[in-house]
């Protein structure tokens, strides 16, 4: 289940930007709008889980229905030939897909007696699924090869995702029964669903700074999701999708290193290391190339592990410690809504604007071709990451903070 869940996502999301630019000839703003469907899905997902899944249906059944419907929408994305046609299907798909991320966790947790010990071994299969999808695109099907991208074969990633979603939808009916958590007659408040009770934590200056930094750092993060694959393809790197899976490999490695780093240096330094890694990554992208400086691009990809684990995972641990038992779930929900919802929504839009501002259309062999100034496109998110780094470094005071140690 976990393998297929993230295989579906990894099969099309990494190469989405490349597909939009090359197949549908999307502008930066149009590409940003399509990627923003993830954020809208993240914002709407709590309502689907809180108002429907948790009250009326078994989790495995609604997981099955969402993936079966998702397979249909994904097939429509495969057939779309214009951004205007593609966008509504992408929006519908992400509204259905984002709730499944919580559902697979819920089904997994329901079968475990010791979540902290058992869940990592299950969740790692999701990362493996994402990696396998990327390797297949680059080394089995060769869809991201330069000639095949120009031939329009990147659209096949949606067909692959559609078939896998269909398989997962059917398979989900066989998963262990996971009944609703809340009785039908019980009242569910919108504030509970969105984690608004945790807003009280913002009275704490340090948590407020962390909250603002969490939203702000999602702006440079969006650049990576939106343009890393198109950038690597555009400058001529071979097998870009497969090479980007190194980010996931090292994500697992740095996740294992996180408790050691956390214990030795503390929360503030760990978070700052994650922010600095973002700035360094984009600087490497700005000045690297697919020739003698390829190693700079590879290091930038590998830094994904530090970027994600040292900021987001550390942030989840910090939030859990600050909230305490009473607001634990609400606080995690609020941070998720703020980052993957609001933060990424802003980030995708900004990335689209920057891409348009530093791109021009020229004739290449009498064919209109978009030429992008990738150096500037990557320098800007690097500067944003440095600004967030300085904000957190100056205003977050860890002298009065209790030690936060990950389990």
pLDDT confidence of residue 337: 83
CB burial of 99-109 (b: ≥16 within 10 Å; e: otherwise) equals bbbbbbbbbbe
Single pTM value for the model: 0.90
Q: By the 8 A CB rule, do 385 and 271 touch?
A: no
Per-position pLDDT tens, the chain of length 407: 999 999 999 999 999 999 999 999 999 999 999 999 999 998 888 777 666 665 678 889 999 999 999 999 999 999 999 999 999 999 999 999 998 988 888 888 888 887 667 877 888 899 899 999 999 999 999 999 999 999 999 999 999 999 999 999 999 999 999 887 655 556 666 666 555 667 888 888 999 999 999 999 999 999 999 999 999 999 999 999 999 999 999 988 888 888 888 888 888 999 999 999 999 999 999 999 999 999 999 999 999 989 988 888 888 888 888 887 766 667 777 888 889 899 999 999 999 999 999 999 887 777 777 899 999 999 999 999 999 999 999 999 987 666 555 55
- The reply to whether 1-172 and 194-401 are identical in fold is yes
Rounded Cα distance, 141 and 81, in Å: 21
Q: By the 8 A CB rule, do 219 and 384 touch?
A: yes
The matching CATH number, chosen from 3.50.50.60, 1.10.10.60, 1.20.1250.20, 1.10.390.10, for 194-401 is 1.20.1250.20
In the chain, what is the greatest distance between 2 CA atoms, to the nearest angstrom?
67
pLDDT confidence of residue 181: 66
Rounded Cα distance, 145 and 148, in Å: 5
pLDDT confidence of residue 209: 95
Rounded Cα distance, 140 and 11, in Å: 13
Under 8 Å CB-to-CB from 281, ≥6 apart: which residues?
224, 300, 303, 304, 307, 382
pLDDT confidence of residue 366: 72
Q: What residues form DSSP beta bridges with 368? A: 363
What is the DSSP code (8-state) at residue 363?
E
CA distances from 363 to 233, 314, 360, 370, 371 (A): 19, 48, 10, 9, 10
What is the DSSP code (8-state) at residue 178?
-
pLDDT confidence of residue 367: 73
Superfamily in which the 1-172 domain is placed by CATH: MFS general substrate transporter like domains (1.20.1250.20)
Where do the structural domains in the chain lie, given as residue ranges?
Answer: 1-172, 194-401
pLDDT confidence of residue 361: 81
Rounded Cα distance, 21 and 84, in Å: 14
What is the DSSP code (8-state) at residue 14?
T
């Amino acid at each position: 289940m976990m393998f297929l869940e993230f295989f579906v996502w990894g099969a099309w999301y990494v190469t989405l930007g490349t597909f939009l630019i090359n197949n549908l000839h999307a502008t930066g703003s149009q590409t940003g709008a399509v990627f923003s469907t993830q954020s809208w899905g993240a914002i709407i997902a709590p309502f689907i889980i809180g108002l429907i899944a948790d009250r009326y249906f078994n989790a495995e059944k609604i997981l099955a229905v969402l993936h079966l419907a998702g397979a249909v929408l994904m097939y429509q994305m495969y057939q779309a030939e214009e951004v205007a046609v593609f966008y509504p299907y992408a929006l519908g798909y992400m509204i259905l897909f984002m709730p499944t991320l919580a559902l697979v966790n819920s089904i997994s947790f329901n079968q475990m007696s010791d979540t902290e010990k058992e869940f990592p071994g299950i969740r790692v299969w999701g990362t493996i699924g994402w990696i396998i999808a990327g390797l297949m695109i680059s080394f089995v099907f060769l869809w991201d090869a330069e000639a095949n991208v120009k031939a329009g074969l990147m659209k096949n990633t949606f067909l692959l995702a559609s078939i896998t979603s269909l398989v997962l939808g059917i398979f989900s009916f066989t998963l262990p029964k996971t009944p609703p958590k809340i009785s039908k007659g019980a009242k569910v408040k919108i504030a509970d669903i969105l984690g608004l009770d945790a807003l009280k934590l913002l009275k704490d200056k340090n948590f407020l700074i962390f909250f603002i930094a969490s939203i702000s750092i999602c702006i440079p993060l969006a650049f990576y999701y939106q343009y890393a694959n198109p950038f690597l393809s555009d400058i001529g790197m071979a097998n870009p999708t497969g090479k980007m899976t190194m980010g996931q490999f090292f994500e697992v490695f740095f996740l294992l290193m996180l408790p050691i780093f956390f214990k030795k240096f503390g929360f503030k330094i760990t978070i700052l290391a994650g922010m600095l890694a973002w700035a360094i990554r984009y600087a490497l992208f700005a000045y690297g190339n697919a020739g003698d400086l390829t190693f700079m691009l590879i290091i930038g990809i590998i830094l994904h592990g530090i970027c994600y684990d040292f900021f987001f995972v550390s942030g989840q641990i910090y939030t859990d410690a600050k909230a305490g038992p009473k607001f634990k779930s609400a606080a995690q929900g609020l941070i998720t809504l703020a980052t993957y919802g609001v933060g990424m929504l802003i980030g995708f839009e900004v990335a689209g604007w920057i891409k348009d501002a530093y791109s021009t259309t020229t004739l290449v062999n009498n064919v209109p071709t978009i030429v992008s100034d990738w150096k500037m496109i990557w320098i800007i998110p690097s500067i944003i990451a440095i600004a967030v780094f300085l904000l957190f470094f100056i205003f977050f005071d860890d002298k009065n903070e209790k030690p936060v140690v990950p389990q």
